[in-house]
A and B are shown apart, each in its own frame.
Chain A
Amino acid sequence: MVYENVDGVKIGLEIHVQLNKLNTKLFCGCSTDYHNDEPNTHVCPVCLGLPGALPVLNKRAVEFAMKVGLALNCDIVGQTQFHRKNYYYPDLPKGFQTTQYDFPIASHGKVIIDGEDGERIVRITRAHMEEDPGKLMHIGSIEKSKGTLINYNRSGMALIEIVSEPDMRSPKEARRFLDKLRSILEYLDVFNGDLEGAMRVDANISVMGGERVEVKNISSHKGVEKAALYEIMRQKNFVRRGGKVVLETRHFDEQRGVTLSMRSKEEEHDYRYFPEPDLVPMRVADRVPEVIKTLPELPDAKRERFTSQYGMADMHAKALTSEIKVANFYEQVANLVDPRSAAVWVADILKGELNYRDVSVDAFKVEDIVEIIELVTGNKITERSGVEIIRTILDNGGTPAAIVKEKGLIKVEEDIVTKAVTEVLEENPEALQDYLGGKEKSLNFLVGQVMKKTAGRSDAKTTREMLLDRISKLPPK
């Protein structure tokens, strides 16, 4: 099947990723662990832009950025170079943002995603380092707030901005790309996507060869998909009515699911870029081989290994490797029980239950899923009971053993019942004949006999069903 892309949709993305696994900010020693703290408690003269303070480049941030670049199959620049991007905004304490301009840390890469019609290559134009501004806050809504408050805890956090070519042909591909990107970043252990503001996306969208429209600052993958869907529809309708799409910047209203115009290209800033005189170039080319050595196994490689090493279906391998946490969880489980059963239980069942509740795999213990799998494969409980235990643990807590006991999930050992059924049918040929002759009550007798033999470990309903099943399979006499 070939995807036609009848509307000529082209989507390119610019993704701001906070390298929030660093201990300190990009140009100062302030801690990055501010998410649960009071505003303006993780600040210093440097990230507050106090007069006279100077930046010092965080070497580890450069290493993180190199890792990202290499994982996205990019070329790494010879030495770092930072520029000043000049504009006025209250969240920008220096009146300029220190960023990379014509020498980004990484460029010319690619990422492979599952596209509309199979594998799709999305080219990476560049990835550059920059600092995050502060955050504006309002009491109540923007309209009603008496003023604007500024929290500079975020100011100076290291960002890497990843810019793709317009290689995505549908909102779904855009979302897949973002999912893949997040997956890679988490594999690299440079990024925790669960933290607020960790990833912000600008989407450039065009249809039918028209000009691109930039939708700014979308905070979720789902939001990007929705914004793109809306924008494609809007642009198509606009063109259909004889309009001509012009370069412009729009804002995505997440609640209403619509995009709204912010400014046209003519109103764009002149950022007056020039080299940051307070930072000296840092040579990084020589460090590439050593950074390559630190790269972990990435999602695509892991997916291949899972299919070959554990003999699982590619579908399972894909599901298990998209999130590093899930992949690690799976491998721990696979070490203790049959890897193929583990794949089914983790990929198909546990992951579904986690997604449904929107919680991460951290919410579940390896030993619990191992115990559940062992109970099912050991024929102690039914699959349905296994699922029930997972749900119970997620919703109310507890351990598999306790839940089995509390809910009486231990399956009656079927062979005992089966054996009893066989014996009772052999020992009571008359009753069987009576039943086959139309005497319904004889069945009740047989049920009673089986239950007597199993000492009540089988219930009447099951026993009845089993008897009927067996009788229906008897060879005709």
Chain B
Amino acid sequence: MTGWANISQVKEKIAQTSAEDVTASYLERIRKSRINAYTTIWEGAIEKAREIDEQGHNGPLAGIPIAIKDNISTRGISTTCSSKILQGYVPPYDAHIVERLKDAGAIILGKTNMDEFAMGTSTESSCYGPTLNPWDKARVPGGSSGGSAAVVAAGEAPISVGSDTGGSVRCPAAFCGVVGLKPTYGTISRYGLISYANSLEQIGPLATCVSDIAALMDVIGGHDARDSTSVQTETMYKDALVDDVSGLKIGVPAEYFGAGIDPAVENSVWDAIQLFEELGASWEQVSLPHTSYALAAYYIIAMSEASSNLARFDGTRYGLRNEGENWHVMASRTRAEGFGAEVKRRILLGTYALSAGYHDKYYLKALKVRTLVKQDFDQAFKEFDCLMTPTMPTPAFKLEEKVEDPLALYLADVNTVPINLAGVPSISLPCGFTDGLPIGLQIISKHFDEATVLRAAYSFEQNTEHHTRRPAEVA
């Protein structure tokens, strides 16, 4: 019965049957799943749904099932960042967005698979094994929020949340043919999001359509006193859903169509831009000259912050512990076993970048580049309402294709990381297919101008059919 569905379709279903039935059918689907997208299934979901049926709930997401990325703290539900080091950790508190979702009546189905500690572009570095792409099980779903994108694409949840540090919501959205938003830095409280790179990351919603993204944003966005970087915003995201792009000025940055881009991806994105023009928008090429330095700067900053953020996982208070003759030995043994190779690589590189003698050469320089990248965007947004680029230079690649070559994997993030450096909002939505694999269009706007991003995305969706296509077995 359920499967690929948006919020209003699920609501209809609940009205016809019950929240319990809907939840049960999703749980049934999840149990039969072969894509390994959930790390934990929350058995309390059924009871929660029954409660909503019996007591009623007038929240905007009453009875709507949702999947939460495994790096977002959920009280009483295991939260592991897909890492061995957090096995057994059950948080005593809810992340801010989890509180908001519960208040809105959403039902948590479970936690979704991800690259360990959100460090990756393919969801292959999870300690639970990779999640498979619902469009082609030989391929990756993208990452790091691969589980959150795959469950939506596979009809194992109508909506989900992920986190985006350098593209971790948009990349899997593109690879899985769903919509994913990385909001402006500060729009959604990070309280309860297990930090990978604090200055870059935001929680972001994933869904089958743009309206659901807006609906989720209306629930999880807004100020939270527990996150000092969270800001007061008054946006009603649903109000941005207007099918009208007349007069919209689109910038197309040449740097985002560089070497290594798949021709099919390039064509689909240009087709999309052409459609916008037909709908009344105008476009022009623009240059973001510091783009080529963004990737290096991003990885230095992200790894530096990560090396510090992950220091707390020492086996003392929670999660895995490997005993030793003293505390230092215990901590070393715990970390040696608990962290996977990619996490260790990033901790080591980050530690190196912050070390005396290298700090100025790497970390400080990366911060300077970050400022320049930000200025590129500021400059572009003086002239344009939004920028459009391919989200990923290629469609989903094959499992294990890039496992042995971390640098190739890092290069896949080239179009997404500058956005995180600048802190601006950007969305990825389906704009075409190649060999049965979805292609993502990225729309970027200036700080706190999610409205423009949503309006453009919504208009595109209203005038295309890409978002209605679904993987064979979900249909």
Name the CB-closest residue of A to B335: A88
CB distance from B464 to the nearest CB of A (A): 38
- Interface stretch, picked from B4-12, B167-175, B259-267, B305-313, is B305-313
Question: Which residue of A51, A94, A270 contacts B89 across the interface (Cβ within 8 Å)?
Answer: A51
Given A84-B308, A270-B356: A55 in contact with B228 (beta carbons within 8 A): yes
Contacting pair B191 A53 (CB below 8 A): yes
Given A45-B92, A52-B194, A54-B228: A272 in contact with B359 (beta carbons within 8 A): yes
Residues of chain A within 8 A of B314, CB atoms compared: 88, 90, 95
A85-110 at interface with B (beta carbon < 8 Å): 86, 88, 90, 93-96
CB distance from A86 to the nearest CB of B (A): 5
Please give 7 more A-B residue pairs, beta carbons under 8 A apart, in addition to A94-B312, A278-B229. A51-B73, A52-B195, A53-B192, A54-B227, A90-B314, A95-B310, A280-B229
Residues of chain A within 8 A of B313, CB atoms compared: 51, 95
Contacting pair A51 B327 (CB below 8 A): no
Q: CA–CA, A53 to B191, complex, Å?
A: 6
Contacting pair B308 A274 (CB below 8 A): yes
Contacting pair B305 A277 (CB below 8 A): yes
Given A54-B227, A274-B304: A95 in contact with B195 (beta carbons within 8 A): no
Give 25 CB contacts A-B under 8 Å: A45-B93, A48-B317, A50-B92, A50-B93, A50-B318, A51-B86, A51-B195, A52-B71, A52-B192, A53-B93, A54-B191, A54-B226, A86-B307, A93-B317, A95-B312, A95-B313, A95-B314, A96-B308, A272-B355, A272-B359, A274-B305, A274-B308, A277-B199, A277-B229, A279-B228
Interface size on B, residues (CB 8 A): 46
Residues of chain A within 8 A of B312, CB atoms compared: 49, 51, 93-95
A56-109 at interface with B (beta carbon < 8 Å): 56-57, 84, 86, 88, 90, 93-96
Which secondary structure dominates chain B's binding surface?
loop
Residues of chain A within 8 A of B227, CB atoms compared: 54, 56, 278
Determine if B198 is an interface residue (Cβ-Cβ < 8 Å). Answer: yes
Given A45-B92, A88-B314: A56 in contact with B225 (beta carbons within 8 A): yes
Determine if B452 is an interface residue (Cβ-Cβ < 8 Å). Answer: no
Determine if B208 is an interface residue (Cβ-Cβ < 8 Å). Answer: no
Residues of chain A within 8 A of B304, CB atoms compared: 274
Residues of chain B within 8 A of A425, CB atoms compared: none
Q: CA–CA, A280 to B186, complex, Å?
A: 11
Contacting pair B198 A148 (CB below 8 A): no
Contacting pair A52 B308 (CB below 8 A): no
Q: CA–CA, A53 to B72, complex, Å?
A: 11
Residues of chain A within 8 A of B95, CB atoms compared: 52
Residues of chain B within 8 A of A88, CB atoms compared: 311, 314, 328, 331
B192-208 at interface with A (beta carbon < 8 Å): 192-195, 197-199
Nearest 4 pairs of A and B residues by beta carbon: A95-B311, A277-B199, A272-B354, A277-B198
Name the CB-closest residue of B to A27: B228
Interface size on A, residues (CB 8 A): 29
B297-328 at interface with A (beta carbon < 8 Å): 304-305, 307-308, 310-314, 316-318, 327-328
Q: Mark A125-166, 1 if CB is under 8 A from B, else 0.
A: 000000000000000000000001010000000000000000
Question: Which residue of A45, A49, A148, A272 contacts B327 across the interface (Cβ within 8 Å)?
Answer: A148
Residues of chain A within 8 A of B291, CB atoms compared: none
Residues of chain B within 8 A of A273, CB atoms compared: 354
Q: CA–CA, A188 to B404, complex, Å?
A: 61
Question: Which residue of B91, B355, B356 contacts A50 across the interface (Cβ within 8 Å)?
Answer: B91
Contacting pair A51 B91 (CB below 8 A): yes
Contacting pair B194 A94 (CB below 8 A): no
A168-186 at interface with B (beta carbon < 8 Å): none
Contacting pair A86 B226 (CB below 8 A): no
Question: Which residue of A90, A274, A280 contacts B316 across the interface (Cβ within 8 Å)?
Answer: A90
Contacting pair B91 A52 (CB below 8 A): yes
Name the CB-closest residue of A to B229: A280
Given A52-B72, A53-B191, A278-B228: A272 in contact with B308 (beta carbons within 8 A): yes
Determine if B190 is an interface residue (Cβ-Cβ < 8 Å). Answer: yes
Q: CA–CA, A55 to B199, complex, Å?
A: 14
Determine if B363 is an interface residue (Cβ-Cβ < 8 Å). Answer: yes
Q: CA–CA, A12 to B363, complex, Å?
A: 33
Contacting pair B91 A94 (CB below 8 A): no
CB distance from B97 to the nearest CB of A (A): 11
Question: Which residue of A49, A52, A84, A150 contacts B73 across the interface (Cβ within 8 Å)?
Answer: A52
Q: CA–CA, A270 to B356, complex, Å?
A: 7
Residues of chain A within 8 A of B316, CB atoms compared: 90, 93, 150
Q: Mark B111-140, 1 if CB is under 8 A from A, else 0.
A: 000000000000000000000000000000
Determine if B351 is an interface residue (Cβ-Cβ < 8 Å). Answer: yes
Contacting pair B308 A86 (CB below 8 A): yes
CB distance from B247 to the nearest CB of A (A): 36
Residues of chain A within 8 A of B89, CB atoms compared: 51
Residues of chain A within 8 A of B359, CB atoms compared: 272, 274
Determine if B79 is an interface residue (Cβ-Cβ < 8 Å). Answer: yes
Q: CA–CA, A355 to B281, complex, Å?
A: 84
Given A52-B194, A90-B316, A150-B316: A270 in contact with B355 (beta carbons within 8 A): yes
Residues of chain B within 8 A of A56, CB atoms compared: 225-228
B148-196 at interface with A (beta carbon < 8 Å): 190-195
Given A50-B91, A272-B359, A277-B305: A86 in contact with B354 (beta carbons within 8 A): yes
Name the CB-closest residue of A to B328: A88
CB distance from A244 to the nearest CB of B (A): 25
Residues of chain A within 8 A of B191, CB atoms compared: 52-54
CB distance from A93 to the nearest CB of B (A): 6
Question: Which residue of B71, B91, B308, B354 contacts A95 across the interface (Cβ within 8 Å)?
Answer: B308
Q: Mark A272-315, 1 if CB is under 8 A from B, else 0.
A: 11100111100000000000000000000000000000000000
Contacting pair B354 A51 (CB below 8 A): no
Residues of chain B within 8 A of A51, CB atoms compared: 73, 79, 81, 86, 89, 91, 194-195, 312-313, 318
Residues of chain B within 8 A of A274, CB atoms compared: 304-305, 308, 354, 359, 363
Q: CA–CA, A351 to B176, complex, Å?
A: 79
Q: CA–CA, A90 to B331, complex, Å?
A: 9
Q: CA–CA, A52 to B229, complex, Å?
A: 14
Q: CA–CA, A438 to B195, complex, Å?
A: 105
Residues of chain A within 8 A of B197, CB atoms compared: 277
Residues of chain B within 8 A of A86, CB atoms compared: 307-308, 311, 354
Residues of chain A within 8 A of B307, CB atoms compared: 86, 272
CB distance from B427 to the nearest CB of A (A): 24
Among the interface residues A55, A94, A96, A278, which one has the most CB atoms of the partner chain B within 10 A? Answer: A278
CB distance from A210 to the nearest CB of B (A): 25
Name the CB-closest residue of B to A272: B354
Question: Which residue of B190, B328, B351 contacts A54 across the interface (Cβ within 8 Å)?
Answer: B190
Residues of chain B within 8 A of A52, CB atoms compared: 71-73, 79, 91, 95, 190-195
Residues of chain B within 8 A of A57, CB atoms compared: 228
Q: CA–CA, A50 to B317, complex, Å?
A: 9
Q: CA–CA, A53 to B198, complex, Å?
A: 11
CB distance from A338 to the nearest CB of B (A): 55
CB distance from B276 to the nearest CB of A (A): 36
Residues of chain B within 8 A of A150, CB atoms compared: 316
Residues of chain A within 8 A of B228, CB atoms compared: 54-57, 278-280
Q: CA–CA, A94 to B226, complex, Å?
A: 17
Q: CA–CA, A119 to B310, complex, Å?
A: 50
Residues of chain B within 8 A of A49, CB atoms compared: 312, 317
CB distance from B422 to the nearest CB of A (A): 15
Q: CA–CA, A88 to B335, complex, Å?
A: 12
Name the CB-closest residue of B to A96: B308
Q: CA–CA, A84 to B354, complex, Å?
A: 11
Residues of chain B within 8 A of A53, CB atoms compared: 93, 191-192
